[in-house]
């Protein structure tokens, strides 16, 4: 069976925060994400990984509806003269922009570990490398 590439509707169904983003823009990010996922992945993980990576990159670009929401790591907030307390580790993750910076990136990272986790041992006992076709 051929690997099916997800469309903008699939991304919006999985991650509602991108519902207001026009389909052409979502398609651009899906195409861009294809550089990080290929057909060496488990077929069932292929579309979710493309969607998660595209959503992560879109969130970093500020396209998610929840992009203006209170960031992860806020442990206290006051509204009067505005005061907020942030967890340093969470803020550092967001500033670094790595996969841990968004929940979408964390979803992609979990799929990445499952598909490209390192050396594999086959039944015959030989060691192969899981490099995801790269």
Q: Is 53 helix (H, G, I), strand (E, B) or coil?
A: helix
Place of tokens 């077929």: 43
Taking the C-alpha atoms of residue 68 and residue 66, their distance in angstroms, rounded to an integer, is 5
Residue pLDDT, tens place only, 67-83: 544 455 555 566 677 76
> 16: pLDDT confidence band, cut at 50, 70 and 90?
very high
Residue 134's pLDDT is what? 44
Residue pLDDT, tens place only, 52-67: 999 999 999 999 887 5
CB within 8 A of 11, min separation 6: which ones? 18, 26, 30, 51, 54, 55
């Amino acid at each position: 069976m051929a690997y099916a590439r997800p469309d903008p509707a699939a991304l919006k169904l999985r991650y509602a925060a991108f519902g207001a983003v026009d389909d052409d823009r979502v398609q651009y990010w899906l195409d861009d994400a294809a550089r990080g996922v290929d057909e060496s992945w488990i077929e069932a993980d292929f579309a979710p990984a493309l969607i998660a990576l595209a959503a992560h990159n879109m969130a970093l670009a500020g396209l998610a509806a929840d992009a203006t929401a209170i960031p992860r790591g806020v442990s206290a907030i006051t509204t009067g003269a505005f005061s907020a307390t942030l967890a340093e580790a969470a803020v550092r993750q967001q500033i670094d922009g790595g996969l841990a910076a968004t929940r979408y990136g964390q979803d992609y990272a979990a799929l990445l570990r499952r598909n490209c986790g390192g050396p594999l041992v086959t039944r015959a006992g030989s060691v192969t490398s899981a490099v995801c076709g790269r």
